[in-house]
Each structure stands twice: as C-alpha cells, then as structure tokens.
Amino acid sequence: MVTCSSTGLLLGRSVPTPRAAALSCRGDLAVATNWRGLYAKTSTELAVLHSQMPEVCELTESQNRQQPQGSGALSTVTAPLAGPSTFFPTELSTPMDDILGLMRQRARRGYNVDAGRNAQLTSDSALRDMWLWIRDADIRRNTGSYSIGYGSDVSFLGIYDVMRLRRKNLAHLYTLAPIEAGRARQEVSATTRLLGQRQLALSYLGWGLDGPIREQHVRTLETAREYAAAAAVSFVYGNHRRCLQSLELSPASDQKLLSFMFKAQLSDSALLTRSFAGEADSAPEDMYSSPYLQMIFAYLVTGSWHAVIRHMSGLPLSWRLALALRYFDDAQLMAYLVKTGRDAVRAGSMDGLMVTGISNPGRVLTQNYVDATADVQTAALITIFDPVTTLDDPAEHWIYSYRHLLNMWRMFTTRCLYDIAHASHRAARGMPRMSKIALDIAVHPADLRCQYCHQSLAVHPSTGAAAASQTPLPPQAQAHSSGSQTRLLNTFCPKCPNKLPRCIICRMTLGAPVVVNDQHAADITQ
C-alpha cells in the first residue's frame, strides 16, 4: 500500500515518504522529507486538532491494478478562468469586525450553496479565489471525467496532491496525444519530468486555456480598458509579444515606458538583464501602482522568476501558482508548494485550499480561519462539497453553528436549501443523507398511544389516514356519538371504549377537530 503523505506533510506528522511513487524526482523526494518538521512550533490547540484528524490514504496499489489501462483521451472541461475579473458586485457595507451582521447580510443576498454566486458576493480576494476554485472543481466533479477509481475522485485535490499523482492515475485521466503534448511543452517552459501533472494543475487553476479562448479573454480585458491586466495574462502564459501589444495600446505613460523596456528586452535579453541586475529590489515600491506592472517590471530588471513571484504579493495566489508551474523546475516547484501550503495553513488564508485541498490539511486551514475571523458561515458552506463521516471532525461543529444562526435569524428557506444541498452531496458519495450527530440532535416524532390499552394513534402507513378511523368504534363509543357529534368520533380510542385524554395546554380532547370557521364551531356546540 502506498500511504498518503501529503496530509502528514502539510500537518507535520511523521508518516512515510512515498519513495516508491512514480514520477517523483530526486528534488521532489528531498523536499518532501523536510515537510515533517514544519509544524513543530504550532500551538497546543492545533496539535490536539491534528491528533483528531483522520488519516486519509491514497489509492492502494490493489486499486491501481484495477484501473483500466486504456488510452482514452479526456475531453478537457474548459472551466471559467480563475484569473483576472473585471466585474464583481459591490461588497457588503457591514464592517468586517461585525462578523455576525456580515454573515446575516450575506445570507440575505444569497451567500449559500452556489459557489459562483458566493464569489461575487465577497470583496475579500482570498475568499473570492477560493470560491472560484471550488466552483471549477464542482464543475469537474459533475462531468465525471476526473474519477480514477471506484469512489476516488480527484476534482477537489489541491495542487500539491495533483503534482504527486502517479503516472498510471494520470494516464487514466487523459493521455497526452502528440498535439496535446506539444501544446503542454509550449506552456511549460521549465525542464520537468512532471509535465502531465503540471498541465493538469494549470487546468485546475483556470490557467489551461487554449489559444483562441485565451485571446478572446485578453481582448475582453482590452475592450474594458484593462490593459495592464490583459498584458499580465499574456505574460503569465509566456506570450511576451502579445503582452507588449497590450501595453502599447494603453494611453498611460507608465505603461508606455514599460512597453519600451519590454521591447528592448525582446531585442537583447542578456544585455538588458545585466544592465538592470539588482535594481528590482532597490526600486521604489510605488514605482508602479498596479501589481500587474510590478510583476512585469520585476522580470525585466532581474530575469529571475523567484524575484517576480516576490513582487506578486498583490496578485491572487492562483497567478503565483500558475507562474511557478510554468517556470520553476521540479525541486523548486515542490519547495514553493510546501512553503505556500505551510504559510496558508498557519495564517488561515482560505485561498490556500488551492494548494492543500479541502480535506485534512484544508480542515486545519479552515479551522484556523474560523478562529481568526469567526466566519463559521463560510466554513459550513465549504463542507457541502466535502461531506465527512467522522464524529470528531470540526466541520460538524461549523454546520451545527450555522444552522443555529439561520434558525435564530428565521431564515428557514435558506436553512432548507443548505440542508438539501448538504444531504445531496452526502448521498452522491454513498453516505447517509444525515450525519450521526444530526440524527442524534434531531427531534424524534411523537408517538401518541391510548393511556388505557396503549393502542397507537399514529397515521396508518398504507392509507395515510389516522389509525383511529381504520377501526370501527365499540358499541359503548357509538352510543356516545350520534347525530351532529359524528365529528368527534376520533376522540375515542379505536380499540377500547375509553375517551382520549385532554391536552394539558388547551384542555381539548385529543382527536377533536380544529375549528376553522364559524359554521364548524356551531356544529360542535350544538
């Protein structure tokens, strides 16, 4: 059995390193062995949480042997681009320190089970990128093309786990035909033994668009006069000449100046790199206000992709990951993923789920996010897409707390939609629609019985009518019910002649009809 070490590596556990895993270069394994001590300085509470997390294993070798070895090509699902976006509705006006009011206002505006809509309802860049990634992952899962075995779906894997997929599992997802292989090599400039994993990871991030779709997206940004964003998209894809064209279209003087530098870079790369060597770190931070221009400028003056990523702090994490996947070698890439995942888990940055995935280390990341922000709403909504089976999982507490908030706000429709979506995702994975904790706290239906003979007064399961109406009344009861009192037949036990008891609150006999109009009341009082 090949055990999964990604969970242990992200959480700092002592678990075996998968040295037998295929496609793991020496740098990958060397970096992986250093993951174990990453969380030596975590708090006691986090250590307790780590000990409660269930161990999750990768596919065993026996499961892998059951995989068909066919070479059927995957019909690539083009997920919506998780890159720059020119339109997001205005964020809620509630200050972030009033998290209870913010969660209530979000819920009123539809912040619920639709990941795409959730991304539009928040201005927090980390949450927005996280919801866009979940939206694309849910699209992948619904296609059914990302299953590598019975009950094993890789749609919600983090980038680190995607990079560690075995060759046979990757071949089950898709086979790189000569044309596809050529396109992948054009998009990945680094020398690598993990070409297929990089290409799959880029598609997970929304950065695997084909040429025509990519050009259409760039033109859309240019039409919206987002020239810096359009140039940055082409730059990350490695199309420097298209990047230069976008910069030249801009009327801004700073972008014009950057286009001149870029044109000189294209004419004599080595000379320009030597002349500007070391000036990126000493350049003023506000030399370019746009993070897109800062990224391009850092590359022009250094020629180092590590320096470029250091100057990309103002851009979404998906941009930095896409650039690392294209230009870092295998050892550098795995080291960068380790550091990024570690920092995201410790800081509780929700966009780090793109690296860790939702399960296991992603659970710790989400718990740290809840501890820092008290945003139990987002944590509970995330669990819809990854239902759990363990009783000690913190997700059960998030779900219970959010349901309680919705009940307190009397938002019962939102609560029902959430429960239905959560139950549907559990059923789709072969799990009971309700967790054991939910079943334990659910209110069980009352079972009414006669206090004399213990006859059940429940609804008959076959006809839907009350059990009292299925049995003829005994002679003693029939003597008391004649004429206008036929409406009170159900006030007697269907088995014995005794009358049913009265309600201790309203003092009406059990089974008495409800008065719905004046005529009905007149019939009863006659």
- Residue of higher predicted confidence among 374 and 189: 374
pLDDT by residue (tens digit) across 19-32?
Answer: 332 322 322 322 22
Average pLDDT for residues 37-59, to the nearest whole number? 36
DSSP 54: P
Retrieve residue 335's tokens: 């080291």
d(CA 454, CA 438): 30
**Inter-helix orientation angle 317-327/195-204, to 10°:** 160
d(CA 197, CA 160): 10
pLDDT by residue (tens digit) across 107-124?
Answer: 999 999 999 999 999 988
Mean pLDDT for the chain overall: 70
pLDDT by residue (tens digit) across 316-359?
Answer: 999 999 999 989 988 999 999 999 999 999 999 999 999 999 88
d(CA 74, CA 11): 33
pLDDT at residue 74 tops 70: no
pLDDT bucket at 314, cuts 50 / 70 / 90:
confident
pLDDT by residue (tens digit) across 352-410?
Answer: 999 999 888 899 999 999 999 999 999 999 988 887 655 567 888 899 899 999 999 99
Spatial neighbors of 284 by CB under 8 A, at least 6 apart, are none
DSSP string, 214-278: HHHHHHHHHHTT-HHHHHHHHHHTT-HHHHHHHHHH---HHHHHHHHHHHHHHH-HHHHHHHTTT
Could you tell me the pTM of the whole model? 0.65
pLDDT by residue (tens digit) across 158-167?
Answer: 999 888 887 6
Average pLDDT for residues 158-186, to the nearest whole number? 59
pLDDT at residue 219 tops 50: yes
pLDDT of residue 287: 57
Phi/psi of residue 268, nearest 5 degrees: -145, 85
CA angle 364, 198, 66 (to 5 degrees): 80
Q: Which of these, 243, 209, 241, 215, lies nearest to 227 by C-alpha position? A: 243
> Which residue matches tokens 């959730």?
118
d(CA 246, CA 222): 7
Element (H, E) at 235: helix 227-236
DSSP 451: T
pLDDT of residue 514: 63
Cα R_g (the chain), whole angstroms: 31
pLDDT bucket at 517, cuts 50 / 70 / 90:
low
d(CA 377, CA 347): 18
**Inter-helix orientation angle 395-408/361-373, to 10°:** 40
d(CA 83, CA 420): 31
pLDDT bucket at 448, cuts 50 / 70 / 90:
confident
83 burial level (CB within 10 Å; 0-12, 13-18, 19+) = buried
pLDDT by residue (tens digit) across 408-423?
Answer: 999 999 999 999 998 8
Q: Are 340 and 352 in contact (CB under 8 A)?
A: yes
pLDDT above 90 as % of the chain: 25
